[in-house]
Structure 1
Amino acid sequence: MRALVINCTLKKSPEPSNTHALAQVVADQLVSYGVEVQFVRAVDLAVHPGVTRDEGDGDEWPEVRDKVLDAEILVVASPTWLGRPSSVAQRVLERMDAMLSETDDEGRPVAYNRVAGVVVTGNEDGAHHVVSEITGALGDIGYTIPGQAWTYWHLGPGPGPDYLDEEKGRDWAHKTGRAMAANLYGAARALQVTPLNAPPS
């Protein structure tokens, strides 16, 4: 089984990413189940604006799309900015919009029988809103969202230290991240045994 983590931080490599650090907890738990995990830091790529599978010369989204469709588990990881998902996360979701009209050989939307979850970081509140926006979009696209398929870390309202600078709250975020990984893996295995059929016409 394969998993893809799309890190939607605004920080380009090799700058340390708080969002990557928390997503790594989820990835490590998935690896413990034998899942092969790959990371993509979207901001490092030329992901052009648009809602098609390929926006032309220089667009690097098609390579990411191939990784998305090669994975049974997708994790979208985003920082919180102004109480919302990052602009990079929004760009990723807009490019995934093309999947709404794509079907497999059995007439199922290409996202069917895949599961997805969300990782959120930020030193101000808004995590549940970010989770809701991203999981809502992924559900529309066709992903199955298991119960408690998210984890987050924040220190409440107001500015403060970042995840990598602060130990407070990490134990809860890590425990929730491991539960998230377990639920994603369990749901993905269940869909392998009993896959969803194409929707009725």
Structure 2
Amino acid sequence: MGWPTTDELRGPEMFDAEIRWTTHGVAHVRAADWASLGYGQGFACARDHLPTIADQITKVRSERSLHLGPGHEGQHLASDLGYRVLGLVERAPALRDAQPDFIRDLVRGYAAGYNAWLAEATAEDLLPEWCRGASWVRPLDELDLYAYLGDVGLLGSGRNLVQIIGRAEAPGSDGPVAPSPLSALGGGEPG
């Protein structure tokens, strides 16, 4: 099915957006209010990137191992534990509540637009074959998006520690083993 160059979208809660796609597939969204703008953006992003978005939401929900298994050398388990420790899902309501109304409207609309395209893609069998029917490809809500936005905010800090946090082990009965001072330089003992 070829995508139209213009979509007039009308969704639940009176979202009203127009999306124009350039010949190179770039979406331009026009709307009269923030919620409708978010709706159009969510619809367009889901159309172009739904598997990536769904994967990122699964990650911040700490559910990769639930849907994908433990992963190579426990990678998904470590990620799930690390993200659970970061508490992004638990912090999402506070992040939402701290936003001005127009941001809350934008994010609420984005979630609705994403879900609208997911419903359409599922009904019309438009999802890529490799993720069609996958348990991790499912509707999201605004709190999922706030948890993800919290993750994006951690790109320069705690996010880099997720695998380390997830793989941390308690010290032995004698306490932790002190590393060699040379290990900080990437080497072992002299010799």
TM-score band, normalised by the shorter chain? under 0.3
Q: What is the TM-score of this pair, normalised by structure 1?
A: 0.26
Structure with the higher fraction of residues in strand conformation: 1
Structure with higher helix content: 2
**TM-score, normalised with respect to structure 2:** 0.27
